[in-house]
Chains A and B, each alone.
Chain A
């Protein structure tokens, strides 16, 4: 089974609008971390936001927020007030922190295009 699933290969959003990028995960480890990364065309993977499995509140970082629904095993990224510079690939990732290992698992990514 896939550890991380991103079902939206491509998304379009109007500038200044909000957009939600979907991510579901699969793990039996009670302790894990969830991450979102942005990859512009230049190639660098930029860390955006982190959510720990025991965190009670949804993580927020500026215009980024993570909608964490533990029971549904989903960790959707919400970008508010989209900007042209937000056009990039976005990857959801997970690390199982418990005894099962330290490897990072990445989804297949979502290509976001912001339309002026």
Chain B
């Protein structure tokens, strides 16, 4: 069973540009969530999508947006990039169904390393 796939793995962008990151969840998983990880701020929740609807949103500016498609694949977009957006962006998927380990665990992709120069 394929895991969570994130593309691209590494990218370098210039301040002011925009970037789109892609995430394909584990087959059958309808929930996709995104996290930003930096040395200074740790792991921060960006947003979560379930069946194409955004269910939860973290405390990030409107420059950060996302969407989920009917096949559960998700993209996140950051516009007008700033130096502080340099981070590891992690996508995770989950069944999000009922209780127990299988229903509640989120599984992560390898992440996308974004460097803004």
Chains A and B bind each other: yes
Q: With A43-B110, A50-B104 known to touch, is A103 a contact of B45 (CB < 8 Å)?
A: yes
Find residues 63-116 in chain A having any chain B CB closer than 8 Å to their own CB.
Answer: 91, 95, 97, 101-104, 106, 108-109
Q: Which residues of B contact A33 (CB under 8 A)?
A: 99, 101, 104-105
- Partner of A45 from the list B56, B99, B108 (CB cut-off 8 Å) is B108
How many A-B pairs have beta carbons closer than 8 Å: the answer is 55
**Chain A residue at minimal CB-CB distance from B101:** A50
Q: Is the CB of A97 within 8 A of B92?
A: no
Find residues 79-105 in chain B having any chain A CB closer than 8 Å to their own CB.
Answer: 88, 90, 92, 96, 99-101, 104-105
How many A residues touch the partner, as a band? 20 to 34
Q: Is the CB of B45 within 8 A of A44?
A: no
Q: Is the CB of A43 within 8 A of B111?
A: yes
* Binary CB contact string for chain B from 104 to 117 against chain A (1 if under 8 A, 0 otherwise): 11111111010000
* Binary CB contact string for chain A from 21 to 44 against chain B (1 if under 8 A, 0 otherwise): 000000000010101010000111
Q: Is the CB of A103 within 8 A of B108?
A: no
Give A contacts to B, CB under 8 Å.
31, 33, 35, 37, 42-47, 50, 52, 54, 91, 95, 97, 101-104, 106, 108-109
Q: Give the complex CA separation of A31 and B101 in angstroms.
A: 13
Total interface residues on B, CB under 8 Å, equals: 23
- Partner of A91 from the list B33, B43, B55, B107 (CB cut-off 8 Å) is B43
Q: Give the complex CA separation of A43 and B112 in angstroms.
A: 9
Q: Give the complex CA separation of A79 and B43 in angstroms.
A: 23
Q: Which residues of B contact A97 (CB under 8 A)?
A: 99, 104
- Tell me if B28 counts as interface (CB < 8 A to partner A): no
Q: With A45-B90, A91-B43, A109-B42 known to touch, is A35 a contact of B105 (CB < 8 Å)?
A: yes
